[in-house]
Structure 1
Amino acid sequence: MPKPLDPKCQLCAKLPTTKARVLHGPEGDGCWNPRICHNRRSFYRRRTQDDSGQIDSLTVEPPATYFAVLYLYKEPGDKPLHALGAELWLGQKPICRLEPIHCFGLTAGKIRTYTDKVLQAFAKEYGVSLYQYKDMFEISPSHCPVRPCPLHPE
């Protein structure tokens, strides 16, 4: 049975020779042997390239379904909502974006009504049925993209 591959040598083979000598030479861990290491590094590089060609890869197109996501710009916990935005996705790509708006002075009911209108607008524009947001992401208000913004004075 062949000797197992040395993980340290596998990592070393990926480095340029000068860097490998510094890391593994007298200043490093001392394992560098000029009589062995050049051939060993070459073996490990070729071995890695050969192995990658032996495994077939397959790509299967994921089902293309419409879904909406909601972005809430707010501090964690029970803090007020700073801003909100939304996106409509088809499969793995966003296809429509509602630019974020500030939520200052909006009650919870008005925000709920607004987010429902956004879903209806996405559904009408693309002729699909959307009943709710697939996911909601809470983002720190410091990343608010709306300008002008009280958190980002000009």
Structure 2
Amino acid sequence: MARPDQEKCRLCSKLTSQEAQQRHGPNEDGCWDAKYCHNRRSYYRHRGVRNHVRKQRRQVQQAEPLSSEPEVSRAARVATLEVLAPAVPAAIAHFYRQTKDSPLHALGAELWMGNDRIAKIEPVHCLGLTEMQVKNLLVRILDGFSQYSGMKVERFRSSVELNPLNCPIYPCPLHPSETNYGS
């Protein structure tokens, strides 16, 4: 991962460290560099959270002037106004797969209204489902969210790609030691 190939590094960050070294090691495409890759993978895994925290910190700093600043006349102060955005439902899909080209392992979803999660579809395994069956499942999820919220939810506003090794469903075919066959 020594090259600045952002998309490749972002996808690599979803893999475990061992998988990444095997896929991008000297025998494969040769981009793995132990000196840089651990930090870069961490950066790509956590950048969404870091950006969110930075944004919140900036908002707080803008709202609360520092006490060490000299007094400024009222005319020179700038008012900070809070405008409440209308609460509209936003659906987020959770895809459990290695890459966008990999087969879909599981699918889950959440419904958000403003800053609050108001509904959640627990992940379900998609093993053996055709592409059309997955699309129909996504439509049924949106219909369920529409009924629950009382407002039409037409599409997913965002999607989250998760590694299938993080699949929360028990038993899971990816974890054969957890599967209890014959009992």
The TM-score range, normalised by the shorter chain, is: 0.5 to 0.7
Query: How many correspondences in the alignment?
Result: 107
Does 1:93 find its partner at 2:116? yes
Q: Which amino acid aligns with 2:133?
A: K
Q: Which residue of 2 aligns with 1:32?
A: none
SS at match of 2:127: coil
Distance change >3 Å, CA 65–CA 77, structure 1 → 2? closer
For residue 161 of structure 2, what is the amino acid of its counterpart? E
Deviations 1:112-154 (A, max 9, x none): 0011011001101221111111111111111111111122332
Secondary structure of the residue that 1:50 maps to in structure 2? Answer: coil
TM-score, structure 1 as length reference: 0.61
Alignment of 1:42-61 (within 5 A): 50-51=68-69, 59-61=82-84
Where do residues 126-145 of structure 1 align in structure 2 (5 Å cutoff)? 126-145=149-168
Rate the CA distance shift 1:77–1:97 in 2: closer, same or farther, 3 A: closer
Larger Rg: 1
Could you tell me how far 1:60 is from its partner in structure 2? 4.0
State the partner residue of 2:134: 111
Matches within 5 A, 1:2-13: none
Higher strand share: 1
Distance 1:78 1:85 in 2: 18
- Cα deviation code 1:66-86 (max 9, x no counterpart): 111100000014110000000
RMSD of aligned C-alpha atoms? Answer: 2.4
d(CA) in 2 for partners of 1:105, 1:68: 25
Alignment identity in percent? 37
Which residue type is aligned with residue 50 of structure 1?
A: S
The answer to whether residue 145 in structure 2 is matched with residue 122 in structure 1 is: yes
Give the 3-state SS of the residue equivalent to 2:142 in structure 1: helix
**One-letter amino acid of the structure 1 residue matched with residue 98 of structure 2:** E
Unaligned runs of 5+ in 1: 1-47
Q: Contact 2:94–2:162 at 8 Å: present in 1 too?
A: yes
CA positional deviation for 1:58: 5.5
* 1:88-124 Cα deviation digits (max 9, x unpaired): 1101121100000010111110010011011001101
Higher relative contact order (CA 8 A, sep 6+): 1
* Cα displacement (A) at 1:59: 4.4
Distance 1:49 1:106 in 2: 60
In structure 2, the residue matched to 1:148 is 171
Q: Match of 1:66, as an amino acid?
A: P
